[in-house]
Amino acid sequence: MTRLYFLLLPALLLVACQRDDKTLAEQNGVYYWRTTLRLDSAERAFLHQHHIRKAYCRYFDVVMGEEGEPVPNATLAFSDTLPSDIEVVPTVYITEDCMHKAHPHLAEKLVKRILQMNETNDIAGVHEIQIDCDYTVRSRDIYYNFLKEVGQELTANSTQSRPIVSTTIRLHQLAMPVPPVDYGVLMIYNTGDPNKFVERRSADGRLLEEGRNPVLDLRDVMPYVKYLDDYSLPLGAAYPVYQWERTVYGVHLEHTVAADEILRVKQAVERARPDLSRTIVTYCLDKENIQRYNSETYEEIYRH
């Protein structure tokens, strides 16, 4: 028994060290996912009121071009600036099909494009890049190698000693080996299958049956909670505050997550992994999203 204890101790210490990583401070953040950076007074007030210290700004997407090579798309236009006390994290969304095969120099091009955008728009003090990709078992190995290359390129082009690379983590990716990054942001939204949403009403319009909300439903989250304790990568948590509108068979649907459901999910995942309360991010910063929930709800979401 003593021998087994000493064999297990190094592995336990490794997990503990990764969990105690100081890369993730106790802080509040937002995703900014519009194509033009412009803030109104309500958005600025929100950032101040809820002590937002980090903004993950989508700089551009990377999609497969007509010639079979990844190309940038939907680049962010800077018409405004964020408050000086908020750290900007350039974030790039890469479609999964871009990772079906390796593309030489893609990481180099991506990092240089981000650095050029920072210089052109006077975005100073950037020392982190986040990559967002819904990678699968098929694309995982190529994506992980790509993340390593991004880190190498960022280090080679940075005057700082240790720049940071982070990535988004979707719930289904918790069952995979951890990616080679400093930390991940667990996307606790888009958890359901939108094709399984069912709504049935009586002849007088009364709601008889309603399917699970595809944006967020605790029942869709719970099967993945078991992976949280053993997932060794430091994690922040991102929660949805947006409304998803779509038309299915000519019927207009609006998916909005009730405040109580967001908080129920937050409590469930934090019971399984308490350090998920350290870094909280909401998706995404927008005047309509701010008005969707009251200040007390946002305070509960951001509670550490």
Q: Which two tokens stand for residue 241?
A: 């505050």
Taking a C-beta distance cutoff of 8 angstroms, is the pair 165, 182 a contact?
A: yes
Q: Is residue 203 part of a domain?
A: yes
The predicted-structure confidence for 215-228, as pLDDT tens digits, reads as follows: 999 999 999 999 99
Q: Is residue 43 part of a domain?
A: yes
Taking a C-beta distance cutoff of 8 angstroms, is the pair 281, 30 a contact?
A: yes
Model-level pTM?
A: 0.90
pLDDT band for position 106 (50/70/90)? very high
The predicted-structure confidence for 253-304, as pLDDT tens digits, reads as follows: 788 999 999 999 999 999 999 999 999 999 999 999 999 999 999 999 999 9
CATH number of the domain to which 74 belongs: 3.20.20.80
Q: Where are the beta strands (DSSP E) in 16-82?
A: 27-32, 36-37, 52-64, 70-73, 77-78
Number of domains in the chain: 1
The CB density around residue 299, as the number of other CB atoms within 10 Å, is: 11
Taking a C-beta distance cutoff of 8 angstroms, is the pair 129, 150 a contact?
A: yes
CA distances from 51 to 55, 130, 203 (A): 11, 21, 48
Distance from C-alpha of 243 to C-alpha of 128, rounded to nearest angstrom: 29
Range of the structural domain that residue 287 is part of: 25-301
With a cut of 60, say whether residue 12 has pLDDT above it.
Answer: no
Q: Is residue 121 part of a domain?
A: yes
What is the H or E stretch that residue 272 is in?
A: helix 259-272
Taking a C-beta distance cutoff of 8 angstroms, is the pair 74, 35 a contact?
A: yes
